[in-house]
Structure 1
Amino acid sequence: MRGAFSKRRQVGASEYAYISFLTVSQRRTLFMHAGLTEKEFNQPYWRINEESCYWRDALFRALRELFSLFEYAPTILTSVKPEQYLH
């Protein structure tokens, strides 16, 4: 997951392009993190380009949260407490 939501991967890509590069399981993780349901997940993800897409903002917010979460996460998780690497 860290590799999928690395800020380095997003450089130069729009949100739509970035989401299109994700695998199905990574995209599902993003949608579930956004609090969306299977109904939204099963819709074509290109709908995020439409202003009328009601789940677009939640998806973009979740994407930013996942970028932030994995930006400071250690490479190997052992007994590190979350408060040691989350800001």
Structure 2
Amino acid sequence: MTVMTLNLVEKQPAAMRRIIGKHLAVPRWQETCDYYNQMMERERLTVCFHAQLKQRHATMRFEEMNDVERERLVCAIDELRGAFSKRRQVGASEYAYISFLTVSQRRTLFMHAGLTEKEFNQPYWRINEESCYWRDALFRALRELFSLFEYAPTILTSVKPEQYLH
């Protein structure tokens, strides 16, 4: 799981940039664009929330965003796909899995579930109680995020192919 950013590309030797630009940049760029552009708006809202972008970004196509916005987006996708990897879940209960998440990842999960700060601020061990009214929404959101990030491109890029040549 790798993220290509403009800063990383600029640090590469010119010859390497030319080779990557000629052979790898276009398919990586297209895969990243397709992955983001094919998300449902609700999924985009979740990723934009985690990237600390505005709601309006969820209605934009990936290629319409500027360099900084794209970089924040691919870094957020990379962090979330690492957090919501099915391999990470093996053998862990939902409670244990949620306890492994960072605060920002947990906040993103709660937001994706349509929950508020009120639910987020409650102890998350409450999901073990049958009376927890937000438990099902949280578990559904967890399954959705596992599914969303299961097929994310291996290499995400915020760098347009032509930027490799400059």
Q: The TM-score by the shorter chain falls in which range?
A: 0.7 to 0.9
Q: Offset of 1:84 from its aligned partner?
A: 23
Which moved further from structure 2: 6-15 or 72-81?
A: 72-81
Change (3 A) 1:82 1:58: farther
Q: Offset of 1:30 from its aligned partner?
A: 0.3
Distance 1:56 1:18 in 2: 14
Q: How many residues align?
A: 87
Query: Is the contact between residue 16 and residue 48 of structure 1 (CA under 8 Å) also seen in structure 2?
Result: yes
Moved segments of 4+, more than 6 Å: 79-87
Structure 2 unmatched ranges of 5 or more = 1-79
Distance 2:99 2:121 in 1: 14
- Identity level (%): 99
| Matched residue SS, 2:82 | coil
Distance 1:82 1:34 in 2: 36
How far does the alpha carbon of each residue in 1:8-60 deviate from its partner, in whole angstroms, 9 at most, with x for none?
Answer: 00000000000000000000000000000000000000000000000000000
Query: Is the contact between residue 34 and residue 62 of structure 1 (CA under 8 Å) also seen in structure 2?
Result: yes
Change (3 A) 1:30 1:78: same
Structure possessing the higher radius of gyration over alpha carbons: 2
Query: Is the contact between residue 73 and residue 85 of structure 1 (CA under 8 Å) also seen in structure 2?
Result: no
Q: Offset of 1:83 from its aligned partner?
A: 24
Q: Offset of 1:73 from its aligned partner?
A: 1.1
TM-score (normalised: structure 2): 0.47
Structure 1 unmatched ranges of 5 or more = none
For the aligned residue pairs, the C-alpha RMSD in angstroms reads 6.1
Counterpart check, 1:78 vs 2:161: no
More helix by share: 2
Q: Offset of 1:79 from its aligned partner?
A: 8.2
Counterpart of 2:7 in structure 1 is: none
| Matched residue SS, 2:157 | coil
